[in-house]
Amino acid sequence: MNKVINISGYEIGMGRPPFMIAEISCNHLGDLDRAKDILRAVKDAGADAVKLQTYTADTLTMNGKQQHFQIDHPLWNNMSLHDLYKKAQTPFEWMKPLFDLGKELGITVFSAPFDLTAADLLIELDAPIFKIASFEAVHIPLIKKVAATGKPLIISTGMANEQEIEEALNAARNAGCDNIMLLHCISSYPTPIEQANLLTIEMLCERFNVPVGLSDHTTDSLVAELAVGLGACIVEKHVMLEAGDDSFDKEFSLIPSEFAELVQRCKAQTPEHFKKQLLDDNVQKILGVGSFKMKDGEKNSTIFRPSILVSSDIKAGDKFTEDNLIIRRPSAGLPPKYWDELIGETASCNLKYGDAMDWNYVENTNKTKISGK
């Protein structure tokens, strides 16, 4: 894989220093000034870019009462999806001041949109890169939207199988994007190092012929350093301002001084040093096996993928439209790739706000029940 992608003057590809991304995520703790402080701190720590997440609770999920909106996950039990994302959201109105601060500091700032309205905002702000988060790798309409800008696109592959990755890449290319990068990612928070399976990086490079990096949710720096040894062109790591910050992501986030060490170790990685590291039995566990199979630690995360849900009450005989269907989390409904097929079809029964779409709810369809899979 010899393709090199230029982002804000930085060349990303094999043989180049790794592009180091600091992910703020929800570590701002709901405070714009704190988000700005993290941005300044990671700039000083050597980050090449800062990644944000552009969503609100209402653009990521729905305030539905059905059981599928309730969380069954060890990190966030006893919360609804809407409650969780209301606490973690990065409001739309924060994007411009954070983008402006990045320009002032001379660091690339970009974001992951989670719905089409977020994509519209980032397009308006002339975002230099778009990121598709692991959970949204199946959100084909969103991928098409941002890919149509022609800007570089990074897609995380957590939970995605080989077919889903190929569908995402095809959607992006068909929409007009040629500069695409993939991030090997384990969507387990935090990721046990023995589930890192870094050899998948080589598989992604060989199978899809694009620059590949790592979105790292482990609790240390060794995994990312080893990924660079395997050819990772990008490293993305969550960063919080201070140790002890009460963030949802605190277990797998670094403080700025730790991120500075990560940058130093990744940029200093050499083939000779990597060969020495391979002699360590612990390193062999981290490398694991190359596989597109979902890891055990990711199975609890699939519910956080988006799907097609009912956004307003529907009566039998009504047509499905953009006004009564929506793509939101969780993954209880049909996958987003079926959006175009559903619009214009007729409802076979009454449906309520928040219901998860199924082929059984579509009149005169020869599709079999998919149950969101």
pLDDT digits (tens, 9 = 90+) for 173-212: 999 999 999 999 999 989 999 999 999 999 999 999 999 9
pLDDT tens digits along 32-46: 999 999 999 999 999
DSSP 154-193: EEE-TT--HHHHHHHHHHHHHHT---EEEEEE---SSPPG
pLDDT at 373: 40
Q: Quick one: tokens of 338? A: 């079926």
Q: Residue 208 has what DSSP assignment?
A: H
| CATH topology for the 304-361 domain | Type Iii Antifreeze Protein Isoform Hplc 12 (3.90.1210)
Residue 179's closest CA among 205, 153, 155? 153
Residue 278 region by backbone torsions, left for phi larger than 0, else alpha for psi between -120 and 50, else beta: alpha
Q: pTM higher than 0.85 for the full model?
A: yes
CB 33 within 8 A of CB 4: no
Tell me the domain boundaries of the chain.
5-55+90-300, 304-361
Which regions in the chain score pLDDT beneath 70? 1-2, 73-77, 367-373
* Exposure on the CB side of residue 312, measured as CA atoms within 13 A: 7
**pLDDT value of residue 115:** 97
CATH architecture designation of domain 5-55+90-300: Alpha-Beta Barrel (3.20)
Provide the pLDDT for residue 248. 87
Whether the CA torsion 274, 256, 185, 175 is positive or negative: it is negative
Q: Is 271 exposed, middle or buried (0-12, 13-18, 19+ CB in 10 A)?
A: exposed
